[in-house]
Homo-oligomer: A and B are copies of this chain.
Amino acid sequence: MRTTWRRTVTRQRAVAWTGLLSLTMAATATSQAPAARPRRVQDTLTSPSIGADGRVTFQLYAPKATEVLLRSEGPAPFANQPLTKADSGVWKLTAQVPADLYIYWYDVDGVAVADPRNNRPRVNMTTVRSLLEVPGAASEFFAERAVPHGEVAAVHYQSQALGVPRRMHVYTPPGYATSGQRYPVLYLLHGAGDNDQSWLMAGRANFIFDNLIAAGKAKPMIVVMPAGHTPTTPGAAPAPDAFARDLLTDVVPYVERNYRTLPGRERRAIAGLSMGGQQTLNIGLTNLDKFSQLGVFSSGWFGQEGAATFAKNNAAVLSDPKVNDRIRLFWFATGKDDFVLPSTKAALALLDQHKIKYSYKETEGGHTWPNWRAYLNEFAPLLFR
C-alpha cells in the first residue's frame, strides 16, 4: 500500500510560492488588485529567531514608537528589557535565553501586544500572548520529539448543566485509534487566567505525555481538559457548583460515551493548577466514589476561610475512617515564591488535622507554567499504578 502511494507521487514542477504569497497577502490585506509592489519591512521580519550561537533575537517594526519593552508571564532573562530602534523602524533585542518555553509580549509605549511576527500564540481567558520555545536539555521533556504522538481533539458539546455550548480538549494516547484497548482517564483542570487550551499551548501536556509514554514512565491514558470557567451574569456572583455540575453531568458522561475508558474510580484521576487545584480539592474529595487520585498544583482552598468553609460543609468526608484507603494518590506541589503558598499550607493543615495522608513537594519558583509543566511531568508517572 505504502509502496503504491510512493511510486505514483506526481512530478509537478514547484511554483515559487514566496512571490505569490506576498502578492496574495498584499492583495487580501488591502482588497486591491495585485501589483508588483515590494514587500514591506514589517512583512519580512522573523521574530523571534534563534541564532547559530543560541541567542534569541526579538524584532518589532514600530517606526513611531518612543519605547518598546519585552514583558513575560513568569521569569525570563529578557523580561522588562528595552529593545533598541534602528533607522529602518525595526526595534531589536538579542539575548541569551536558557532552554524553556516562554510567554512574552511587547509593551509598545504602554500598549501590550502579542508579537505580530510570531504565529504561535498563547491564548488565555481574555487575551493573546506569544510563545517562544528555546530547545535544550531543560525543555526536552515537553518538546515535540520523534516519538509516537497522541492526538488532541477539540470537542464542542452542549452543556445540559449550564445550558450553553462548551468546548473541551481531549488527548488520546499514541495508538489509541487502532489498539482497541480501554484506558484510564485524567481530568486536568486549568487556572483562573486560562482556558481549555492552556494545558496544551502553555502546558504542552500532549508532548509531556507522548514523551513519558514513549519512555515507559507513564501509563497510556486519556487526558481530558475541560473549560473551568462558567458563564456569569455581569455583576452577579458565580453560580454555585456550576463547573462541578458541568464536569460531572456533561463532561465525564460525554467522555465515557465517546472514548474507550476503563470504568470505575480506580481508573479516574483529577488534577489542576491554581483555580483548577481548588476545583480538584472540592470535587475530588467529595466524589471519591468517582475519583481515586488527586493532583493539586500551586493551589489550596485559597486561605483559611476557604479551608474552614470546606471543613464545615464536608465534615463527613474529612472524618470518614476509610478516607485514606479511598484516596490512592493525593499529590501536592507549590513553589517557594508562589503567592498561593499560604493557601497550600492551610489546605495541608486541614488534612493533617484530619489525619488525611498526602505527599507534598515545595519547589523553587512561583505561580508559573515552568512549575506546572514540571509538576505534570512528575505527577503523571504516579497515576494508575
A residues whose Cβ falls under 8 Å from a Cβ of B: 1-2, 5-6, 8-17, 20-21, 23-25, 27-29, 31, 33-34, 42-43, 60-66, 71, 73-75, 79, 89, 105, 108-121, 123-128, 130, 144, 146, 149, 151-158, 165, 170, 177-178, 191-193, 195, 206, 210, 229, 237-242, 244-245, 248-249, 252-253, 256-259, 274-275, 278, 282-283, 286-287, 289-290, 302, 306, 309-310, 313, 339, 366-368
Cβ distance A37 to chain B, nearest Cβ, rounded Å: 12
**B89 to A9, Cβ gap below 8 A?**
no
Q: Nearest 6 A-B pairs (CB), nearest first?
A: A64-B109, A113-B113, A149-B156, A177-B258, A10-B286, A34-B339
**B12 to A286, Cβ gap below 8 A?**
yes
Cβ distance A351 to chain B, nearest Cβ, rounded Å: 16
**A287 to B27, Cβ gap below 8 A?**
no
Cβ distance A267 to chain B, nearest Cβ, rounded Å: 16
A146 to B290, CA, bound (A): 29
B residues in contact with A144, CB < 8 Å: 156, 165
Cβ distance A223 to chain B, nearest Cβ, rounded Å: 13
Q: List 18 A-B contacts (CB under 8 A).
A: A11-B240, A11-B241, A12-B244, A13-B313, A14-B237, A24-B193, A29-B73, A64-B66, A105-B116, A111-B116, A112-B116, A114-B128, A116-B128, A119-B124, A144-B165, A151-B155, A152-B154, A177-B257
**A241 to B10, Cβ gap below 8 A?**
yes
Contact of A5 among B16, B127, B248 (CB under 8 A): B248
A126: nearest chain-B partner, CB-CB:
B119
B residues in contact with A13, CB < 8 Å: 240, 309, 313
Known: A12-B240, A302-B15. A27 touches B339 (CB 8 A): yes
Cβ distance A31 to chain B, nearest Cβ, rounded Å: 5
Contact of A192 among B24, B152, B278 (CB under 8 A): B24
B residues in contact with A125, CB < 8 Å: 21, 119
A20 to B64, CA, bound (A): 37
**B249 to A17, Cβ gap below 8 A?**
no
Contact of A8 among B108, B240, B287 (CB under 8 A): B287
**B152 to A153, Cβ gap below 8 A?**
yes
**A238 to B274, Cβ gap below 8 A?**
no
A306 to B19, CA, bound (A): 14
Known: A11-B240, A244-B10. A367 touches B27 (CB 8 A): yes
A71: nearest chain-B partner, CB-CB:
B29
A3 to B345, CA, bound (A): 36
A144: nearest chain-B partner, CB-CB:
B165
